[in-house]
Structures are given as structure tokens and as C-alpha cells.
Chains A and B, each alone.
Chain A
Amino acid sequence: MNLLDSTINGIPILTIDAPRPDNASAEDFKLGVTNRFRQGADPLILDMNRVIFMDSSGLGALVGCLKLLFKDPKRLPLCNVAPAVLSLLKLTRMDQVFLVYPSVQAAVEALQP
């Protein structure tokens, strides 16, 4: 799975470049985010605009990164979340755990002092 890096105002943004991340890409994602976190990418904005659908292993990877690395949902905000992904977050109540923003800009603004 491709992970694309960019920054706005010095805040790292990671774009998940896979329409339907599966079991294998969930592993890639965990590894990719862990490496970036260790290199100081904290907070890290996850831009999900290319993800159409995510299954339970994708959700597991997302929650794992939050729980084991970033701890605070403010440090790992999500943005541009597709309807199918959002309904999975709702079904599993993860919409109450993650901070979800309508755009990268909105996530960046929320992180500015």
C-alpha cells in the first residue's frame, strides 16, 4: 500500500493511497505510521480521501496506532472520511473516539495554537 507524505505549516499529513485497504495493507499501514511516529511525526493528520471502504482489519490498524502510539485522538486526526468508512466508525462507535474533520485544512486549523 502506498502512503503519501506532505506537510502544511510543518504538520505532517499522511494520505492513504488505497481505495480498499485489506488485511495486508493494514500491516503496511501500521508499519508506515509506526516509522513516521518514531521519526517524530506526532501529531499526524490522516487524509483518507482516497479510501472508499475499510474493513475490520483496517479499523484495527487505525485503532492500534491511536492506542499504542499517539494515545490522544487529537494527535491522530482523520479527515476526508468516505461515507462507507464513516458508517463503519459509527457502527463501532469509533466516531466517538477519533476526531474526524471535513478537510485537511480543518484538521490543520484545529491543531494550530
Chain B
Amino acid sequence: MNGRTSLLLVDDSPEIRLLLGHMLRSWGYEVLVAGGGYEAWDIIEREQPRIVIADWMMPDLDGLGLCKKIRDSVHPGYIYTILLTGRNDQESLIQGMNAGADDFIIKPVNLDGYNELKARLRAGERIIQLWQALQEQNRRQVELSDRLAIAHERLRRELETAGRMQRRLLPPGGSRVHGVSFEWLFIPSACVSGDMLSYFGIDEKHAGFYCIDVAGHGIAASMLSASLNQLLTPEMDGRSPIKRRMPTEPYYAITPPVEVMAELNRKFQIDTQNFQYFTMVYALVNAPSRTLEISNAGMPYPIYLPSNDTAYFLGDGGFPVGIIEQARYESIKFQYGTGDRLFICSDGISECTNQSNEMFGSERILNLLNGTHAMSLSETLRELENVIKKWNGGGEFEDDVSILGIQFP
């Protein structure tokens, strides 16, 4: 509290106003006086004193009525009220407290009574101080929560923008490269995603495609997946591990999938500062020889669906990228048949749990794909999307969900 505490003394007796008023001033209070309840009420509304000492018995509005009026109205600060009374029976005490009085002083106030009044006033001041501290704390809380809400909203909008930018990195769906059809499904868990996928022509004979899942999700994961997207282009900018400049004709060389993995693995080793790694499938299509060369660095097993046979898992896994320095990568190379399909799914699908905490599992994806021979590639992905969304129960996904579907010519 700054300065002196303002106090209103209400009594119909001029002697008491004079005597008690003098005493209160000598204790350091800024004393206002009123001769009756209504006059007191005017002063309270105008001056907002912190403490009101009122005589119970007054001709117009008595102390009890004044206390009620104070409690029934709204004030910027707490007004501590003390009733001066000749009654010290329990019933009067209850009556006074019910009216809103905080304390009582028994009249007549003699020398001992002054000391008691002084002590009671100090107790009142402590309560006022507590009330003010609480008010201040509340005000700060509200201010803080307002600022938090603003910050949260700003972050949410930025995340949404980042999510839109990330989506723009994805290739168009339903397109063909050298006769190979590509479709994808992409559902980020919270605006931005650690999943990334792409496909592209490398030269007039070769197409390449990849799926990446950065461990974890959210902002850090999405930053790594976006920078991988920038790196993994078939443009000969001298940085891409996919296609390198060569001194002789045709002045470039296409990197085999295992070497792409090995180079990324060298570049992106985890260390104490950076604990991120990723799983990835990279594959190379040679259109004239109708061959697929595919390497898997720890993604769920890709599923191969021959046009006239049942689906099966491809390969037997591999080291994720970035965790084992001396990791050796493997690839499978084979000829594809017309209409054969390949599906690469992130673990957001196989690890998606339903309400009873059961995971969707890779086997369920495989079985589902076995019934899709008659569907088009895009219909198949929509079917997968519907089933997985139903399994998830309709809400947001816990992990990023991405599927790349490929159909060979």
C-alpha cells in the first residue's frame, strides 16, 4: 500500500468522532468522518476508503445496514469493516457478521480498548494487503494467459503455414514418369510432418522415388524431412546424391540406391546435439529394361502386389539412416510385370492403434491390398485411407501417415 491507509469513521456522536478520529490520525491513518449511514455511503462511493469503522446504532442508516450496502455493491478494493457496538452477545455477533462486518469493537472504547482497536486494525490491514496481492496475482495470471493465448495462436498459424509449405514440396498425385504411375496419401499428425515422399524422372530411361520417415514428428522432424527433400533431387547441382556430374559422356552417373543410402548415412549421423535419424526407401526404375532396384533403410517392409498373384513383403529391412556409421545397405533388383504394384507405407499406419489399443499391423495392410486387384491405384489408396481413418477412430493421427503407391506399365 502506498501512503497512509484511508479510513472512514462513522458515528452519530460528535465526541466520539473527535476523540477516536484524533487517535486514529495519530496512528497514521488518513481519517474521513461521517455522522450517519447515508453520509458515510456517499463518502465510500466517492473516496473508496480501505477501512470503515461504523457505530452499530445510528438514527438513519445504522452500521448493520451500512455493512450490508458495502457487501452488496462492487468496489475496486476490499473494504474492511469494523462495527462499534455495545452488544457483546453471540446473537448480535452472528447478526453483524451475516451483514458483512469483518470485526467488532465493544463500546465504550477506553484506554485498553484503544490498544485492542489498534491490533484489530493491523489485522484488517493484513487482510487488505492479502486481498490486494491476490488481486495483483489474478491480474497477472489473466494477462499471462492472454499473452499465452496470443502466442499459441501465432504458433498455430505458423505451423499451419509450415504445413502448407511442406505439402507444396510433395509431388502431384496421379502422375506418370516413364509410364510408371504414382499416387500418394499424406496425413500429417500435427500440421507439419516428419514424413516425406517424392518421385521423379532422372534421365530419359530412369525414374526414382523415395519415402522418408524422420523419427519423431513435429517441427524438428519436418525441418529434416524438408531439407532431405531439397537434397534428393535429380538436378545436377553437384550436391544431389542421386545423380552426379561426370567428366565424360553422358556427363552424369546415376547413383545406385545402396550408395544413396550410404552417402546419406555418412552425412546425417546422430551426435549428442542432434539425436535425429530417419528410415527411408529409395528405388530406381529402369524403364527400358523393366527393372526395379530398391533399398530399404528401416522403413516397414514395402508390399509388392503382382497383377495376378497375392501380395508379399519385399526384402528383409535394413539399418535406418544416421545411427550406425559403418552400416552396409542392401538392395533387391528384379523385373516387374505389367500392372504390378508396390506400396510403401510409413509406420504411422502399421502402428496406428484403435480404441482397444490394438495396432493396425503390417499383415492387415497386406491382407487389405490382396483384395484390391480390381481397383485402380487411386481407388486402392482411398480404400486404405478409409480403413485406416476408421481404425484410428476419426480423430487426429498420433503419428504421420504416408503411403506411396506405384503401378508399373
A: residues with CB less than 8 A from B are 23, 30, 53, 55-57, 59-60, 63-64, 67-68, 84, 90-94, 97
Contact = CB atoms under 8 A, between A and B. Distances in A.
Interface residues of B, number: 26
A91 B318 CA distance: 6
Given A56-B213, A56-B279, A56-B347, A92 B320 contact: yes
B353 to A, nearest CB: 9
B270 A67 contact: yes
Contacts of A90: 316-317
Contacts of A84: 359
Contacts of A55: 347, 351, 399
A68 B323 contact: no
Nearest to B269: A67
A63 B321 CA distance: 12
A-side interface mostly:
helix
Interface in B273-300: 275-277, 279, 298, 300
Contacts of A97: 324
B301 interface: yes
A60 B216 contact: yes
Interface string B237-280: 00000000000000000000000000000000011100111010
B271 A93 contact: no
B319 interface: yes
Q: Is the interface of B mostly helix, strand, loop or mixed?
A: loop
Contact of B318 (A60, A68, A93): A93
B324 to A, nearest CB: 6
A92 B279 contact: yes
A63 B277 CA distance: 10
Contacts of B317: 90-93
A66 to B, nearest CB: 9
B216 A53 contact: no
Most chain B CB within a 10 A radius of its CB, from A23, A55, A56, A63: A56
Nearest first, the 9 A-B pairs at minimum CB distance are A91-B317, A56-B215, A92-B298, A60-B215, A63-B323, A93-B319, A57-B216, A92-B320, A57-B215
Contacts of B399: 55
Contacts of A92: 279, 298, 317-320
Contacts of B359: 53, 84
Given A55-B399, A93-B298, A60 B271 contact: no
A91 B319 contact: no
Contact of B216 (A23, A64, A91, A93): A23
Interface in B326-377: 327, 347, 351, 359
